[in-house]
Structure 1
Amino acid sequence: MSKIWTNSGDSHFLEPDDLWQQRLPKRLADLTPRAEKEPDGEWETVHVDGQSFRRKLPSSAAVQFVEESHKPKGVRDARARLADLDKEGVWGEVIFPSLGMWASTFRTPELLKACMRASNEWALEEITAVSDRYVVTAQVSTLDVNDAVEELTWAAEQGFKAVFLPTTPHPSADDWHRSSWEPFWTVAEEAGIVLAFHIGTDPVDMASGGAGQVYRGPGGAVMNYTETTFSGQRAAMKMVASGALDRHPNLRVLISEGGATWVPFLGDRMIEGYRQHHMAVRPKLSRDPKEILFSQIYASFQHDETAVAAYDHMGYKNVMFGSDYPHMEGTFGHTQDTLKGLFDGISDETRLRITQGTFYELFPHVPPVPADAQ
C-alpha cells in the first residue's frame, strides 16, 4: 500500500528551557520555574513563584526512555520538524506547548500573564513563521479570566486559530462550567478559535512527581496512564452540561489524545441524566446533550482501534487522528504501520475523514495535502 497521508490533532514542541528567563524582566524572570538537582541525583528542589518544593526524579531507565522518544531534531527545531513529518506521512498538525505545563503552579497573575505572552510571541516567531502546516496553540492564563480574555483577543489578532486549555483551570480560578468564563467563550466563538483541551493537564501537586502520579503500587503505571484520559471527558461534559456550547453553537472543542469511543458513551449517559433527573437539571438546553456533544466536540486518538468503529458504527463523525509527536505514547517511527493497520479493509471515505477531513473542518486555513503526495 502507498503512503497514507494524515493530519494530526495532537503534537508537542519543546521550547528553550530559558525562554521565560530570557524574555521577561528580571523581577519576573527570577520567579519562573528553576530546578536544582541534589548531589544524590535522585531528588531535586524546584523553585517557582516564591515557592520551593522537593520532588523525586524519574528512574534512570525512565529518563533514558523519555530521551529516546525526544531524539527527533524537530522537537526543538521547526524547520527540521518538516522532514520528520514528511517521513511519517503527517501533513498539518496541532502543536501544544511544553513549558505551559507549569502554569498551575503559578500564583501571581502578573507573572503568569507575562509568561503566556512571552510563549505566544516566541511561538509566532519560531514555529508559525516556518510553515503554514503548523497550527500552534496560543496560551492564556487561567488564573484570571480577564487576563485570559485579553490574551485570547490579542492571539486572535495575531492569527492564532486554536488555544491550549488545561482540562481543569488554575486551582484558584472557577471551573469551566461556571458563568465567569462566558466572556472567554464569546471571544473564542467570534474569532473562530478552537478550544484545544489536552488530556492529563489537570492541576497537580508538582511535589508529588508531576502529572498523572495518582496511583502507586501494583498496576500503577497502567492506572496512571489510563487516568489521564478521564480529564478530557470531564472537560467535554462541563462544556455541554453547563450550556456553554449550547449558547455558543459555533464554538468548537478539540479533546486531544484521549481517544474517541468515549464520546458516544458520554452522550448516552448525559441524555439519561438529563431525562431522568429533568426536575433538577439547570440550565435547560435547547438541544439534547448528545447532539451538542456530537456536533461541537472533536476527539483525537493515536492507536485506538475502536476510534474507527466510533465513526463507522456509532454515528460519531468528529474523529481525528493524532500522532502525539514525539512522545513515547505516540506513533513517531511507526506512523505508517499504525495507519495501515487501523484502516486495513476500511472504506476510503472513513479513512479520509479521520486522517484529513475532520482536521480541515476545524482548520481550513491549512493548505491541503498535495495531490502528488497522495
Structure 2
Amino acid sequence: MPKMWTNSGDSHFLEPDDVWSSRLSKEMADLTPKSEKDPDGEYETVSVDGQTFRRKLPTSAAVQFVEESHKPQGVRDPHARLADLDKEGVWGEVIFPSLGMWASTFRTPELLQACMRASNEYAHEELAPVSDRYVVTGQVSTLRVEDAVSEIEWLAEHGFKAVFLPTTPHPSAPDWHRNDWEPFWDVCDKANIVPAFHIGTDPVDMTAGGAGVVYRGPGGAIMNYTETTFSGQRAAMKLVASGALDRHPNLRVLISEGGATWIPFLGDRLLEGYRQHQQAVRPKLSRDPKEILMTQVYASFQHDETAVAANEAMGYTNVMFGSDYPHMEGTFGHTQKTLEGLFADAKPETTKRITQGAFYELFPDVPPVPESTDCIEA
C-alpha cells in the first residue's frame, strides 16, 4: 500500500545531558538534576536544587524493550531524526523537551529561569534550524508568573510557534484559571504561539516514587497510565471556565497525548454546569463553554479507536494524530500499521483532517506534505 503521510502533534527529543550545566555558572550547574544508579540498577538517587530523593527504576524488562526493540536514531540527533520520520510516514511534528519534565521539582526561581533559557537557546540554535518540519516547543518557568511572561516574550522575539506547558503550574504559582496568567495569554495570542500542554506533567512528588506514581497494588500500572490523561482535561477545563479562551478567541491550545473523545463529553459537562448553575457562574462568557472548548482546544492521540468517531459522529474536528516518538507507548516502528487500522473505514476528508488539516491550522508555517515523496529530506 502507498505510504499514508501524517503530521504529529506529539513527539519528544532528548537533549544533551549537559544542556543546562554547560550554559550556567558552576554554582547553578551544581544544582541541576543529577542521578546515580545503585549497582543492581533497581533504584537511583536523584539530586536537584538542593534536594535528594530515591526512586525505583523501571523494570529491566521494560528497559530492555526500549533499548532493543525501539531503536530510533533521532532521539538525540535532529539530523538523523528526519530519516526516522520519513520511514514512519511522519512529516511535520511538535517536539517536546525531556529535561523540562523536571521543572516542577525545582524550588529556586532564578535557577529554573536560567535552565529554561538555556533549553530555549539550545532549541533555537541546534534543533529548530535543522528542518522547517520541526515545531520545537519553547519552555518557561512556572515558579513565578513574571518569569513565565518574561520568557514567553523572549520566545516570541525568537520566532517560536509553540510553548510547552505543564498541565498544572508549579505548586508555588497560581493555577491556570487565575487572572494572574492574563499577561501570558496576551503574549501567546499576539505572537501566535500555541500553548501546548503535555499530559503527565503535574508536579512530581519525588518522595512518592517520582513521576506517574499515584496508585500501587492490583491494577496500579494501568491506573497510573490512565491517570496521566486527566490532568490535560483539567487544564482545558480551567482555560474555558475561567474565561481565558473567551477573552482570547484567536488563541488556540493543544493538549498532547491525552486522547480526543473526552472533548465532546467535557463540553457537555461544562455547558450543563454553566446553564444549570448560571446564578453562581463567574465570569460570564460571551459564548457557551462547549463551543469554546470544541473550537479553541486541539487534542492529539496515538492509538484511540474512538478518535475518528469524535470527528465524524460527535462533530469535534480538532482531532490530531500524534506519534509520541520515541516513547514505548507511541507508534514508532508501526506508525503505518496503526494509521491503516485507525482510518480503515474513515471518510477521506476525515483522514486528511486528522492526519494533516488540524495540524496546519495551528502551524501553517510547516511546509505541506509533498505530493511526491521522492523529495523528502534524507
**TM-score, reference length from structure 2:** 0.97
Alignment of 1:93-132 (within 5 A): 93-132=93-132
Q: How does 1:5-44 map to 2 (within 5 A)?
A: 5-44=5-44
Provide the C-alpha distance between the structure 2 equivalents of 1:72 and 1:182, rounded to a whole number of angstroms.
40
Partner of 2:282: 282
| Structure 1: distance between partners of 2:141 and 2:69 | 29
Superposed CA offset, 1:187-226 (max 9, x none) = 1000000010001100011232222111111111111110
**Residue of structure 2 in register with 1:318 after alignment:** 318
Instruction: Give the alignment of 1:131-280 within 5 angstroms.
Output: 131-280=131-280
RMSD: 1.1
Cα displacement (A) at 1:80: 0.3
Q: Secondary structure at the match of 1:173?
A: coil
- AA in 1 matched with 2:266: L
Moved over 6 A (4+): none
SS of 2:123's equivalent? helix
Corresponding residue for residue 83 of structure 1: 83
Distance in 1 between the 2:154 and 2:205 partners? 31
8 Å Cα contact 2:54/2:209 also seen in 1? no
Equivalent residue, structure 2, for 1:363: 363
Counterpart code for 1:212: G
SS at match of 2:195: strand
Per-residue deviation, 1:373: 2.4
Counterpart contact for 2:70–2:332, Cα < 8 Å: no
Task: Report the equivalent of 2:293.
Answer: 293
Q: Tell me, yes or no, if the aligned pair for 1:20 and 1:29 is still in contact at 8 Å.
A: yes
Contact 1:259 1:301 in 2 (8 A): yes
Matched-pair contact (CA < 8 Å) for 1:57–1:209: no
Q: Equivalents in 1 of 2:43, 2:144: separation in Å?
A: 33
Please give the alpha-carbon distance, in whole angstroms, between the structure 1 residues aligned to 2:368 and 2:29: 41
The structural deviation recorded for 1:70 is 5.3
**Contact persistence 2:165–2:198 (CA under 8 A):** yes
Query: C-alpha separation between the residues in 2 aligned to 1:138 and 1:248?
Result: 21
Residue 48 (str. 1) matches residue 54 (str. 2): no
Q: Is the 8 A contact 2:8 2:323 kept in 1?
A: yes
**Conservation of the 8 A alpha-carbon contact between 1:137 and 1:163:** yes
* SS, match of residue 368 in structure 1: coil
Q: How many residues align?
A: 374
3-state SS of 1:74 partner: coil
Cα shift at 1:44? 2.0
Name the CA distance, whole Å, in 2 between partners of 1:336 and 1:66.
Answer: 20
Q: Contact 2:271 / 2:288 at 8 angstroms: preserved in 1?
A: yes
The equivalences for 1:342-357 within 5 A come to: 342-357=342-357
Q: Which runs of 5+ in 1 are unaligned?
A: none
For residues 177 and 132 of structure 2, the distance between their equivalents in structure 1, rounded to whole angstroms, comes to: 33
The amino acid across from 1:26 in the alignment is K
Paired AA for residue 340 in structure 1: E
**Partner amino acid, structure 1, of 2:180:** S
Q: Deviations over 1:9-55 (max 9, x none)?
A: 00000001121111111110011011122344322221111111222
| Percent identity of paired positions between Structure 1 and Structure 2 | 80
Deviates more, 1:61-70 or 1:346-355: 61-70
Contact kept, 8 Å, 1:69 with 1:327, in 2: the verdict is: no
* Equivalent residue letter for 2:139: Q
Q: 2:277, 2:63 → 1: CA distance? A: 49
Does the CA contact (< 8 Å) of 1:69 and 1:328 recur in 2?
no
User: How far apart, in 2, do the equivalents of 1:77 and 1:292 lie?
Assistant: 39
**Shift in Å at residue 3 of structure 1?**
0.8
* Paired amino acid for 2:328: M
Partner of residue 372, structure 1: 372
- TM-score, L = length of structure 1: 0.98
